[in-house]
């Protein structure tokens, strides 16, 4: 919490919690009264070790924040975690990032929440999200230095075609989206998320107005050859034997 706005949000939360701990009212009701602070979600949850908690998604001065409130015992609550989330293009992405952040903090999923999340490895989480029309989408989320820094939809067609390779598809989906958004090289993201590049992406080859490239990746002891179409779509994935030494 090294920026002024985040510190101010922390001060507001701690002031409301202090009133609650001193038997001066419901801290969440007090929080609703704070000018300039909007509560997007407030979810009563538990940590995986059984401790009671609240997860909060807050808006303040154009930024979104995720917070964890821990109840040490009845009538005693404290601010456990607070992070400022990056800006996202879509409103749904913020909800996905919030769910991933709670999962990273080791919250249990809540049945009434629109998202459920799970850890894939130290850097990657996956999130299932039901939108307003009850369509289920799967997302990947990257965590860096304790904060969810990027979210992107996992390519649904690839999941249908290759259901037993869901984790490598999540990694590839994130890598392709970060290349599209920020120009991040595929090898950089793949290796950051736990994959190992066996063969770097080939230069794109054009045939019938379709650009294709190929690469080979090892992940979790499995070996895959992958085809990418139009620089953004996983169009082929084949598990293969380990390379000969």
Residue 173 is classified by DSSP as H
Confidence tier at 2 by pLDDT (50, 70, 90): low
Q: What is the pLDDT of residues 19-46, one digit of tens each?
A: 887 876 789 998 999 989 999 999 999 9
Tell which wins on pLDDT, 76 or 178.
178
User: Is 222's pLDDT higher than 90?
Assistant: yes
Using CA of residue 124, residue 219, residue 222, residue 175, what is the dihedral sign? positive
Q: What is the mean pLDDT of residues 139-167?
A: 95
Q: What is the mean pLDDT of residues 145-151?
A: 95
Nearest C-alpha neighbor of 142 from the set 129, 151, 154: 151
Q: Residue 15: CB partners within 8 Å, gap ≥ 6?
A: none
If residue 143 lies in a helix (H) or strand (E), which one and from where to where? Answer: strand 136-144
Please give the Cα distance from 92 to 146 (Å, whole number).
Answer: 21
Q: Burial-class residue 34 by CB neighbours within 10 Å (0-12, 13-18, 19+).
A: middle
Q: What is the pTM of this model?
A: 0.91
> Quick one: tokens of 7?
């510190």
Bridge partners of 116, per DSSP, are 128
| Neighbouring C-beta atoms of residue 87, cutoff 10 Å | 10
Q: What is the pLDDT of residues 90-102, one digit of tens each?
A: 888 999 999 999 9
Please give the Cα distance from 81 to 68 (Å, whole number).
Answer: 5
Q: What is the pLDDT of residues 41-79, one digit of tens each?
A: 999 999 999 999 999 999 999 999 999 999 987 778 899
pLDDT cut 70: percent of the chain above it: 98
Tell which wins on pLDDT, 110 or 205.
205
Contact 17, 77 (CB under 8 A): yes
Average pLDDT, the chain: 91
Contact 174, 140 (CB under 8 A): yes
- What is the structure's pLDDT at 245? 65
User: Is 1's pLDDT higher than 70?
Assistant: no
């Amino acid at each position: 919490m090294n920026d002024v706005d985040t510190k101010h949000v922390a001060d507001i939360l701690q002031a409301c919690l202090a009133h609650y701990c001193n038997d001066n009212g419901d801290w969440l009701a007090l929080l609703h009264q704070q000018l300039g602070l909007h509560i997007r979600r407030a979810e009563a949850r538990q940590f995986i070790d059984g401790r009671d908690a609240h997860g909060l998604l807050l808006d303040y001065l154009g930024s979104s924040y995720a917070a964890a409130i821990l109840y040490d015992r009845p009538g005693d609550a404290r601010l456990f975690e607070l992070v400022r989330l990056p800006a996202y293009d879509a409103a749904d992405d913020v909800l996905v990032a919030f769910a991933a952040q709670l999962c990273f903090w080791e919250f249990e999923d809540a049945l009434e929440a629109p998202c459920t999340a799970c850890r894939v490895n130290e850097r990657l989480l996956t999130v299932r999200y039901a939108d307003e029309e009850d369509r289920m989408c799967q997302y990947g989320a990257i965590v860096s230095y304790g904060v969810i820094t990027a979210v992107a939809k996992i390519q649904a067609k690839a999941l249908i075609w290759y259901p037993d390779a869901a984790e490598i598809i999540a990694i590839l989906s994130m890598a392709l989206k970060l290349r599209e958004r920020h120009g991040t090289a595929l090898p950089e993201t793949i290796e950051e998320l736990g994959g190992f590049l066996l063969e770097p992406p080939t230069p794109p080859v054009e045939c019938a107005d379709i650009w294709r490239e190929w690469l080979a990746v090892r992940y979790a002891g499995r070996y895959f050859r992958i085809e990418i179409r139009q620089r953004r779509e996983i169009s082929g994935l084949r598990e293969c034997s380990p390379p000969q030494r």
